[in-house]
């Protein structure tokens, strides 16, 4: 986990991808987000892209996941959502 956090601190762009299970991100991504709290102040000035894959092709069915990801980047200083790819 330390290596991943260090890469997030050093990156200019972060792409987060997840399958959507019951309108939410998977547990692995949620765990990663939860473990960034120790270095949140260092993960700043980043551009974020999100990739979501679901069995349902209706984008509105993935909005719960997007809200969770947006909640995460709101906790970071000057993080910018740059784009979302929906795969359904």
What does the domain layout of the chain look like in residue ranges?
A: 2-87
Confidence class for position 59, pLDDT limits 50, 70, 90: confident
Residue 65 has pLDDT above 80, yes or no: yes
Confidence class for position 79, pLDDT limits 50, 70, 90: very high
Provide the pLDDT for residue 75. Answer: 96
Which residues fall within 8 angstroms of residue 74, CB to CB, at 6 or more apart?
Answer: none
Query: What is 2-87's CATH number, 3.40.50.20, 3.40.630.30, 3.40.50.360, 1.10.10.10?
Result: 3.40.50.360
Confidence class for position 58, pLDDT limits 50, 70, 90: confident
Which tens digit of pLDDT belongs to each residue from 27-46? 999 999 999 999 999 999 99
């Amino acid at each position: 986990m330390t290596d991943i956090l260090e890469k997030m601190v050093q990156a200019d762009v972060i792409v987060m991808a997840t399958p959507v299970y019951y309108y939410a991100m998977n547990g692995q991504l949620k765990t990663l987000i939860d473990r960034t709290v120790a270095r949140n102040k260092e993960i700043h000035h980043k551009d974020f892209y999100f990739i979501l894959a679901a069995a349902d092709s209706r984008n509105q069915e993935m909005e719960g996941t997007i809200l969770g990801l947006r909640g995460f980047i709101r906790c970071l200083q000057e993080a910018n959502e740059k784009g979302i790819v929906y795969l359904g």
